[in-house]
Amino acid sequence: MNNSVFFGALTVAGLAAGAAAAGTLDDVKARDKLNCGTNTGLVGFAAPNANGEWEGFDIAVCRAVAAAVLGDSTKVEFVPTTGKTRFTALASGEIDVLVRNTTWTFSRDVDLKFDFVGVNYYDGQGFMVPKELGVSSAKELDGATVCIQTGTTTELNLADFFRANNISYEPVPIETEAEAQQQYLSGACDVYTTDASGLAATRATFDDPSAHVLLPEIISKEPLGPLVRHGDSEWGDVVRWTLNALIAAEELGVTSANLTEMTAGTNNPEINRLLGTEDNLGEMIGLSADWAVKALSVGGNYGEIFAKNIGENTPIGLARGLNAQWTDGGLLYTPPFR
């Protein structure tokens, strides 16, 4: 009796593991909930607010996908992952999509069998030092002690940068963001390094942000974007085009303010195709005709999401920079909705 239960459980476990590779889109619809892997807490990108609701720049992408697929932006289960657990969580099917400041690299895309569906933030690794040190360039950091949050490409970039400039340093790899900040603030490290956006977010939480400066060197390319499991292109397409819809909406001037008006029909065919009043893009991707309208109704277009969570008027205070539309000299450029 006990044995049969045991084997029954084993069989179920085996089947579940086998089924995870099949259609994620159908799984999400059947579950009526999107499992979204995210950061354990990085203000501006993904952190619970005072009411315990997750919000941030990465969170907005998850909510948009949930709205596009399920029609409700609250049907998301946020799974906080660390630098170590994120890939296992995605590969095992625990989460459907990972949006966690994850850098798109060759080996992650190819060797780890994931698909990066796009870039929602073009970042680069930077350095933060206390102003009183009087350092103005990362090349002056010979012999410095550097705090790093471990388990990221950060360590590799750092090693490469110091080797290329033939200067020495002492790494202090720290498991969590909070612990690393404490080390930096108490002076146990001279420098704190991570993605420039993360540095700005971290600095915003300090008692006296003006006592710390970000050095001008950006030592790496860090295209951060959402990723899904390799081999499920339908699901990959859904996430990719939801992100593209957010970006294209900004380019086409569709905002949360004029969304209802635009949905009634415009004389710009591209907007009509995006919002589902012309053609049948929704059907092609396996969603309802107004999928993009639902995605946009959550937090508006890419520009609005950026401004609300990490833009210049927030404590994070990031400029658009590389993350401006291509028409404004940035890198955001979506393929046409056609």
- Interface positions with another protein (CB under 8 A): 3, 6, 10, 13-14, 17-18, 21, 83-84, 87-88, 91, 107-108, 111-113, 133, 141-145, 150-153, 155-156, 158-160, 162-163, 169-175, 179, 182-183, 186-188, 190, 229-231
In the complex with another protein, which residue's Cβ is closer, 166 or 313?
A: 166
Task: State the Cα torsion 90-40-243-52 to the nearest 10°.
Answer: 120
Distance (Å, whole) CA 127 – CA 114 = 29
Question: Which residues face 103 on adjacent strands?
Answer: 224
What are the residues facing 289 on neighbouring strands? none
Nearer to another protein, 18 or 52 (CB): 18
* Sequence-ordered list of residues with C-beta below 8 angstroms from that of 245, at least 6 positions apart, any chain: 64, 68, 274, 291, 292, 295, 296, 337
CB of 171 to another protein, least distance (A): 5
The token pair at 73 is: 């932006």
Q: Supply the Cα-derived Rg of the chain in whole angstroms.
A: 22
Q: Which of 121, 126, 35 is nearest to 321 (CA)?
A: 121
Rounded to an integer, what distance in angstroms lies between the CA atom of residue 47 and that of residue 156? Answer: 26
**Given the complex with another protein, which of 173 and 321 has the nearer CB atom?**
173
Strand extents, DSSP E, the chain: 34-38, 47-48, 54-55, 76-80, 97-98, 114-116, 121-123, 125-130, 144-149, 169-174, 191-195, 212-214, 222-224, 227-229
- Residue 132 CB, nearest distance to another protein (Å)? 8
Alpha carbon dihedral 54, 58, 60, 62, in 10-degree steps, equals -90
Name the minimum Å distance from CB 205 to another protein: 18
Tokens for 194, please give them: 């991570």
Nearer to another protein (CB atom), residue 29 or residue 230: 230
Q: Which is nearer to another protein, 222 or 304 (CB)?
A: 222
Residue among 206 and 290 whose Cβ is closer to another protein: 206
CA distance 61 to 116: 14
* Smallest separation, CB 45 to another protein (Å): 19
Minimum CB–partner distance for residue 3 and another protein (Å):
7
Which residue's CB is nearer to another protein, number 165 or number 280?
A: 165
Q: 155 with 148: CB under 8 angstroms?
A: yes
Minimum distance of another protein from residue 81's CB (angstroms): 12
Cβ atoms 97, 83 nearer than 8 A: no
Shortest CB 245 distance to another protein, Å: 29
Give the torsion sign (CA, 52, 58, 60, 64).
negative
Q: In which residue are the tokens 């949050």 written? A: 149
Q: Cβ 212 to another protein, closest distance in Å?
A: 15
What is the nearest approach in angstroms of another protein to the Cβ of residue 226? 18
Which C-beta is closer to another protein: that of 55 or that of 232? 232
Nearer to another protein, 145 or 256 (CB): 145
